[in-house]
């Protein structure tokens, strides 16, 4: 007797809709929000230390070449890159960088609450755009470096407008190059290695970043 598959059987064996799987991959879960918040708050505490710690190196770099203090911007930029590398969801870079800035603003610093939060939002956006360009699919070291550089470039332009208005061309070029290098190395490269180190502990096994480590092994 000839047997044929029923319509329901054929439908159930069909491949899953890629649009559905992509939406699920990019959708935030409760655990994503919790971990991103932890990353943001912890980064904000590091920001607080650097708000004071950078003053010593700044006093050395500024007399050497005006604008060279941009090399000190990296430690304020890593939160967004690190958060995105761990969470791997749209908005993670903006969320973690802005939250870190909020923590810094709430405790208090020399730049004021509003401008601190505004800077965090701009820096996070700079990193976010890079991950968006790669459609939230590339999480390797080169992309992390580009994201760190993107955060630095966005933050550097923001600083030039708000804090260094009227700066000459030499200062502007030196500052943007210095900040971009710092962002690429510290916010980008070091954040990538830090994310890998955290994943190696097994703490990120519920995340794609943790599962990627297992697959490599």
Residues 154-191: tens digit of each pLDDT: 999 999 999 999 999 999 999 999 999 999 999 999 99
Residues 130-157: tens digit of each pLDDT: 999 999 999 999 999 999 999 999 999 9
Query: Has residue 17 got a pLDDT over 80?
Result: no
Tokens at 133, concatenated = 């360009």
- Closest listed residue to residue 184, CA positions, set 141, 135, 148: 148
- Closest listed residue to residue 89, CA positions, set 206, 214, 217, 213: 206
Residues 196-213: tens digit of each pLDDT: 999 998 888 877 777 765
What distance in Å separates the CA atoms of residue 122 and residue 78, rounded to the nearest whole number?
A: 13
SS3 of 15-66: the string is CCCHHHHHHHHHCCCHHHHHHHHHHHHHHHHHHHHHHHHCHHHHHHHHHHCC
pTM metric for this prediction:
0.85
Quote the pLDDT of residue 9.
45
What distance in Å separates the CA atoms of residue 122 and residue 5, rounded to the nearest whole number?
A: 56
């Amino acid at each position: 007797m000839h047997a044929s598959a029923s319509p329901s059987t054929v439908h159930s064996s069909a491949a899953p809709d890629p649009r559905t799987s992509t939406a699920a991959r990019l959708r935030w879960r409760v655990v994503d929000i919790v971990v991103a918040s932890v990353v943001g708050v912890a980064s904000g505490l590091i920001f607080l230390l650097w708000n004071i710690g950078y003053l010593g190196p700044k006093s050395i770099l500024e007399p050497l070449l005006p604008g060279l203090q941009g090399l000190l911007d990296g430690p304020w930029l890593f939160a967004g890159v690190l958060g995105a590398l761990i969470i791997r969801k749209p908005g993670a870079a903006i969320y973690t960088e802005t939250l870190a800035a909020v923590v810094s603003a709430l405790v208090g610093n020399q730049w004021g609450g509003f401008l601190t939060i505004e800077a965090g939002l701009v820096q996070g956006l700079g990193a976010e755009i890079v991950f968006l360009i790669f459609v939230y699919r590339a999480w390797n070291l080169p992309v992390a470096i580009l994201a760190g550089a993107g955060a630095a470039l966005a933050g550097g332009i923001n600083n030039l407008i708000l804090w260094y208005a009227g700066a000459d061309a030499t200062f502007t070029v030196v500052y943007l190059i210095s900040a971009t290098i710092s962002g690429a190395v510290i916010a980008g490269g070091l954040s990538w290695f830090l994310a890998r180190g955290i994943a190696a502990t097994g703490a990120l096994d519920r995340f794609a970043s943790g599962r990627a480590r297992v697959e490599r092994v």
